[in-house]
Each structure stands twice: as C-alpha cells, then as structure tokens.
Chain A
Amino acid sequence: MTVAPAVSIKNLKIALPKSAERPYAVDGVSIDLIPGEIVCVVGESGSGKSMCAHALMGLLPDTVTTETGEVLFEGRNLLKLDESGWREVRGRGIAMVFQEPMTALNPLMRIGEQMMEMFEAHNLLTPKERRAKALSLAKEVGLPDPERIIRAYPHQLSGGQRQRAMIAMALALEPSVLVADEPTTALDVTTQAQILKLIRNLQRSRNMAVMFITHDFGVVADIADRVVVLRHGKIVEEGSIDAVFKNPQHDYTKALLAAVPSMHPPVRAPLDENARAVEVIGLDKTYVTSGGWFKPDRRVQAANEVTFSIMQGETVGLVGESGSGKSSVARLVMRLIEADRGTVRIGDVDLTALEGKALRAQRHRIQMIFQDPFASLNPRRRVGQIITDGPIARGTDPKVAMQRARDLLGMVGLDAGSLDRYPHEFSGGQRQRLGIARALAMDPEIIVADEAVSALDVSVQAQVLKLLEDLKARLGLSMLFITHDLRVAAQICDRIAVMQRGVIVELKPTAQLFASPEHPYTRELLGAVPGQSSPSQAA
C-alpha cells in the first residue's frame, strides 16, 4: 500500500460487562482507513460494528472498556487521549454521521445553529463567518433553498434533508476521516440512493477516508472500495469489494451474501382461478388535522380509491415509501381504522358493513403480524398468555388453547418450554416467530404482514420469510405483505401493488412488474434498490 492510512485501528479489544453474552464486543480488530477510500464494515446486529465506529470518536458507552489496542491518528494513539484531547479530534479530525437523522439533531435548535456549533466548538471564525459557512455547506450538500433551511428546525425537514444537514455538519471542519454509522438505514430507498451518491461525491472531492457501517449488502455493493465483515466482534473476512463479492472465502460471508434476496422474482403460477379471499373496493381515507379558527385544516390522503383483491393462497405485496399509505391500507383492510368510503370483503362477508359483536366474530379470519417484534408483544405477559388470549376470548377452552399454543410454537420453530417465558427472553427473530404463532392461533384465512421482516438481520429475515412461505402453503393462507424492500417483495409476492401518496399506481404479477415496470414511480423505486450493479447480486 503506497498511501499512509489516515487512521489505523490496531488489535482493538473492547470488553463487555460481565453479564453480557460474550466477553468482547470487539475482539482483536485491525482496520486501516486510507484517504480516498470507503471501507464498509458489515455485520449483523451485535457484531460489534457500531462499537468500532464509536471507538474512533471516543464515544463508547460507559459500560464497556477498551482493553487493548490502538487507534493511530496523526501520529497519536487516540485511546490515550484525555477528554480535552478528544474534543480537539472530534469534528475536526474525525467526524461522524449517525443512523437516525431525526433523533441525531437537537429538536429545539435551528439547523443553521447546529451547523455553526461545529465552528464554535473549535473556536473558529466569527459568528458572521460561521453563518456564511453554514449557508455554503447547506448548498454543497444539495439542500434546496439553503437560506430557509438553515433557519428551519429539524422537524420541518424531510428525512433526506435532515441527513444532508447532518452530513454538512460533519464536513464543516474538513475532517480527514468520516465515520458513517448506518447513515441510510432510516431512509427511503430513493432517498438512500441520493445520500449514497452524495457521500461518494464528497468523499472523492475531499479525498476523505470513510468508514461506512452497514448491515445491507446492497449498500455495500454500491459504495464500498473495501469490505470488512464482522461477526461476534471478530473480522471474518476482509478484502476489496470485488474479491469479497465474487469470491467470498469465509462460510459466514457466503451465507450472508446468499441470504440477500435477489431482484429476480421466481416464476409463479397465476392464481386467478382461485376464489377471492379478500376484495377491496374503492377505499378512501383522509386524515384531517384541525387547523384552528383561521387556518385551513391539514389533510393527508392515505388511501385514494384503493382497489385490489387477494385470491386464496395468494400473496399480494404492497410496496412504497414511507407515507405512501401502505400501513393505512393494512389497517383499513383489518378494519382497525374506519374508511371514509369503500368496501372490504373477506370471502362473502362485507367487513365494512358489520358492527359490534358481528364484527368481532369475523375478526379472527384476518390477522396481523407487526413490524416491531419488541413493541408488539406485551412485555408483562408470558408467551403462553399472549398466544392464547385470542382463542380464549373466542370461547376456546383454556386447556385446549394452551395445547394448541404448544403445537404452534413447534410449527414456528420454537420449543414448547417457551410458553412460560416472557418476550424479553427472546431474540428479534424469535419474537417475530412468536408474533406469527399469535396470529395463527386465531385460525385466520388471511395474514396481513406489515413490514414483518424489516427489523430483522438478513440471515434471520431469510429464515422468517421461508417460515411464512411454508406456513402459508401448509395452511392455505392468503397474505397481504407490506414492505418497503423490493428485494423481499420480489421473493415472496405473487403480485405487487405499488403505492404512492395513497394511490395504487401499478398492480401486476411480480415477475411482470420487475421485468417491465410502466409507471415512472415504479421505475424510480426499482432503479433505487441498492446493489444492482454488482455482478454477484444478479444471482
């Protein structure tokens, strides 16, 4: 290597507290960051990738201790610095961009003020110059109407704009190293594509060394020069992007790459001949927030003339970006919220016409699996209670319900002993299995899966998707599958409906949609999916 590294992490060992599952969060990791190069550190949750990033900034949580190792930057070992030494490096030498731009910005301060703080922290420039600099930074990262944006508060910006502002802030003092911790994970796919491009361009024009933390191999394929794969705090594989993607050496890397859903949908037999499981006709839903006496009400149309049907045994995908109305449609179909207009039929029953007891009697036929496996299970109730609540409410004998819960746990791949445990004792993937068992306990005909695999690591995601497919086939279920991830949709859906601002703009069999998208928005969405350029991703 001809260029000296901007930062070298050498044999870093970060110890976890005694109660943790393993002794080290980061176990003997060495990474060199070279100017002008983007190193992607990839791994699943708990692999220690974020710890590496935070170690570079001296921002490790108090609960962990750095046992051995060095972080060499400009001839100094950063790990030996005191607080004031760190303050000098932070922002100026090494800057960081965080995952969730909404929470990473102070909600009570204007964007411009937060940018100007960067200079204030290092006693640079006069207040007037700081303002001018903030303005030019806002321009550089492509924020529209920079004059207005630097006077705005974080909540007045879109997710993409907030992340641009974060990046502008990180670049303010022209650091030689940028640490980006999952900077696009919280963003929509089209926004993600723009932010990746922005980071790429800035890194090139400023010849920065970038450490890019991500769990998404698609993103890695698009942005990395070099890849470091972490597992349980150890590096399992390291190399150039081409080497790792085309010729992965370690089994774990191979498994991770194989778990990434392909953009090529498998061939599926049409199910047009089957009876209709769900029929949705002309659903309208507008959310109105009162605007006060002299201001007009604010209206957001979440569903506009939404019409589709799901055949028996079919999976229909609902894809779109955040705010497109997908989750509202799911809730309308379940009748968890009331539609302004339109009809939902489950088989022959008009769900929208029912009330009270008659409605409750139908509810078991359509059940939901939620996105967040942590928030969707009551933490104070045991698994057995969670699963049997519904059936017992429907009049099933508690003993029978409990036996059925035991069988269901087996069906979703958990052992029957789980019945007496609490949700917090399970991992994310296991909790999502519990969520599935809970839904199945009601003997539903239709499952509504609202981003059911979005919060899971890619290998766990693959397992849960397979489980859903198996169960669907075994029990003859139909499914409404809501996702923002087109790769997942390609693998699991028979047909896909693309939603934009409450309207279904395109609804087609999956293979056809991917092969010949018609609507410009569909094309935009498909084009923005990361990782399509890499040869290995075409598998």
Chain B
Amino acid sequence: MLSFVAQRIVKGVFVLLAIIVMNFFLIRLAPGDPAAVMAGEAGASDAQFVQQLREKFSLDKPLPEQLFIYVKGVVTLDLGFSFRQQMPVAKLIAERLPATLLLTLTAFGISLLLGITFGTLAARFAGTWADTAITVSALLFYATPIFWVALMSILLFSVYLGWLPSFGYETIGGNYTGWAHVKDVALHLVMPAMTIGLFFMATYTRMTRASMLEVKRLDFVKTARAKGLRDNIIQRRHVLRNALLPVVTLAGVHSGTLVGGAVLTETVFAWPGIGRLLYEALLQRDYNLLLGVFVVCSAMVLIFNLVTDLVYRLVDPRIEFAS
C-alpha cells in the first residue's frame, strides 16, 4: 500500500507539472497585458513606467525563461507575487484556502449524508408517493442553476424571513470569540453550503436509489434472506454497502470539482474563499494569482483522487492496489 501511495504521489507531481505548463501558456495566449492594467490603475501609464513594471515582474523575458522561473518558484512553494494585490500569491491563497475548504467539505458532507439517506429511503419505498416525491425534488435541485438557488435562498431566508445572514464569512464588526464565533461562522455557512450541497445531493440520491434497487435483485441478498436475517440488517449490511460502491466513485470525481464549483457560490455569497479570489484574479488579469489558484486546485483534485482510491480500497476488498 505504501508503494501504491508513493507511486501515485510521484505520478501526481508529473501531472501537476504538465498542468502548470499548460496553464502558463494558456493564460498568456489570452489577450491583455498585466503591466498595462497595473500601470493604468497606478494612474501613470507612460511607456517607460510600463516597461519598468515588465522588468520588475520578469514579463520582458522570453516565455520559456518565465516558465522556468515560475516552476523553480513552485518547487520552493513560492507561487510568485500578485501584481494587483501587492502580496505573495502563496500567502493570499493560504489566507483564503481554509474558508473554501470549510465551505466545500461541509457541502460535500451534506450532499453525501442527505443523498445517501434519501436515496436509501426512495429505494426502500420504490414505487410509492415517497419515492416519487424524493426523486422529483432531487431532479429539481439537479436541474436548477446553482446561482439561482443561491439568489432565491438569500431572498427567502435573509430578506423575507431574516433567519440567516446573506453574505460573508462572519459578522463584520462582530468580533466574536470562542463558541459565539463558531456559531456566527456556522450561520454564515448554512446557505452557501446548502446551495452547493443540494446540487450534489441530487445526484447521490438518484445514484443510491438506482444502485440499491439493482443490488436488491442480486443473489447474495437472497442468500441473506434465506439465512433468516431481519430486513433492516439485510438492507444495511448487504444492500447498502454494495450499493455505495458507485456512489463512492462518483463522489471521488466530484470531490475535486467541488473546489472549482465554489466560484459561483462564493461570488454570490461574498464568501472569502479561493473561488472568489479566482474570480477577482480573472477580472484583473492577475497572471500569477490565476496560475497559483490553478496549481492549488489541481493539487487538491489530485489529493482528493488519491483519498478516493484509498477509501475505495477500504470499502471494496476486491480492489487491489498493485493492479
């Protein structure tokens, strides 16, 4: 198993390197000159100043050399300097990463928990009104754009009902500490996390339901019944465990995209995470920041995938690392 993990990490490093090279060139293919943007914002856009900026940030060097400088930096965890924010990119990301992880992991947890629960219920009562209600609502959440759900829930829960704060990570000027702080952040977290969570929940609900109905027909479920086992043990131990295998696969695929999927939600809810940072960087042609966010997101996808494979090994003994 250790060799499997080591192997995956080495492979991951190469994948990451390839991603960096591709992103580096893709970004520079896009029109726009960061030096010009910066000079414009500084209010002094004469050619000499722009040239100075170019030299300062190595933008005047040939592309391969710029790439080399960048990669050399990444190896030492130096992701460059954000022209626009006047801060090292690594520091910017490190500040924002916890908020994003809190949001996406909560959303991920919600979606899996609710999805599997509702999927199991729908399968248990397949063909009844309960099944129809669950399946239809799952479809609704899946089909509705995330930003719209976000805006509507702000209207409902913040504007009309006034139950939840409408934006941000914590109450500005609240200065809460201890449990009060946790509660404050949790309240802010509810809507953005639910918005992302419900979307993914819908797919897990449908997947769990379909998968359980399929497993239910298999021979070993009949064996379990022939033993005289109680139905709830059969459902949990024999049906659900086997039915979860495809759900784990799907969740693995999703886990990586959750980071990227947070861009819209973070923007709508003004959540100070990586997604919003990316959005800002995009508007400002902040090359280094953009690249930095990409690198971190890619690394997270790779890490999540590795975790998924390890989890998969835990739930399915037939999977062997070696092959």
Contact = CB atoms under 8 A, between A and B. Distances in A.
27 contacts: A87-B229, A89-B228, A90-B225, A90-B226, A90-B228, A91-B228, A92-B228, A96-B226, A98-B219, A98-B222, A98-B223, A103-B219, A106-B223, A106-B237, A107-B242, A107-B317, A108-B316, A109-B237, A122-B228, A169-B223, A169-B227, A290-B322, A292-B7, A292-B321, A292-B322, A293-B7, A294-B3
B157 interface: no
B323 A108 contact: no
A300 interface: no
Given A153-B318, A292-B3, A59 B228 contact: no
A279 interface: no
B220 A104 contact: yes
Interface in A86-137: 86-92, 95-96, 98, 100, 103-109, 117-118, 120-122
A295 B322 contact: yes
Contacts of B322: 290-292, 295
Contacts of B227: 90-91, 117-118, 121, 169
Given A57-B225, A96-B226, A108-B241, 19 more contacts: A87-B228, A87-B229, A87-B230, A91-B226, A91-B228, A92-B228, A98-B219, A104-B223, A105-B223, A106-B220, A106-B237, A107-B220, A107-B242, A108-B317, A109-B237, A169-B227, A289-B323, A292-B321, A292-B322
Interface size class, chain A: 35 or more
A108 B315 contact: yes
A313 B213 CA distance: 51
- Could you say which of B6, B223, B242, B321 has the most chain A C-beta atoms within 10 Å of its C-beta? B223
Nearest to B320: A292
Nearest to A296: B322
B317 A153 contact: yes
Interface of A: 57, 59, 83, 86-92, 95-96, 98, 100, 103-109, 117-118, 120-122, 153, 155, 166, 169, 289-295, 298
A107 B318 contact: yes
- Could you say which of B6, B219, B230, B318 has the most chain A C-beta atoms within 10 Å of its C-beta? B219
Contacts of B6: 293
B224 interface: yes
Contacts of B3: 292-295
A103 B323 contact: no
Contacts of A91: 226-228
A103 B218 contact: yes
B247 to A, nearest CB: 14
B148 interface: no
Nearest to A119: B227
Contacts of A88: 228
Interface of B: 3-4, 6-7, 218-220, 222-231, 233, 237-238, 241-242, 315-318, 321-323
Contacts of A104: 219-220, 222-223
Interface SS of chain B: helix, strand, loop or mixed? Answer: helix
A121 B229 contact: yes
A100 B223 CA distance: 11
Given A153-B317, A293-B7, A106 B225 contact: no
A118 B226 CA distance: 9
A121 B228 contact: yes
A95 B226 contact: yes
A121 B152 CA distance: 50
Which 3 A-B pairs give the minimum distances between C-beta atoms? A292-B322, A90-B228, A103-B219
Nearest to B10: A293
B14 to A, nearest CB: 15
A105 B226 CA distance: 12
Contacts of A166: 223
Contact of B229 (A109, A117, A290): A117
Contact of B226 (A59, A290, A294, A298): A59
A86 B225 CA distance: 10
A106 B228 contact: no
Given A88-B228, A92-B228, A95-B226, A290 B323 contact: yes
Contacts of B233: 121
Contacts of B231: 83
Contacts of B317: 107-108, 153, 155
B37 to A, nearest CB: 47
A92 B227 CA distance: 8
Contacts of B230: 87, 121
Contacts of B228: 86-92, 121-122
Given A59-B225, A121-B228, A108 B321 contact: no
Contacts of A89: 228
A289 B323 CA distance: 7
A453 B229 CA distance: 39
Contacts of B316: 107-108
A286 to B, nearest CB: 16
A466 to B, nearest CB: 34
Contacts of B7: 292-293
A98 to B, nearest CB: 6
Contacts of A57: 225-226
Nearest to B238: A106
A156 B45 CA distance: 72
B62 to A, nearest CB: 38
A87 B323 CA distance: 41
Contacts of B321: 292
A59 B222 contact: yes
Contact of B220 (A105, A121, A153): A105
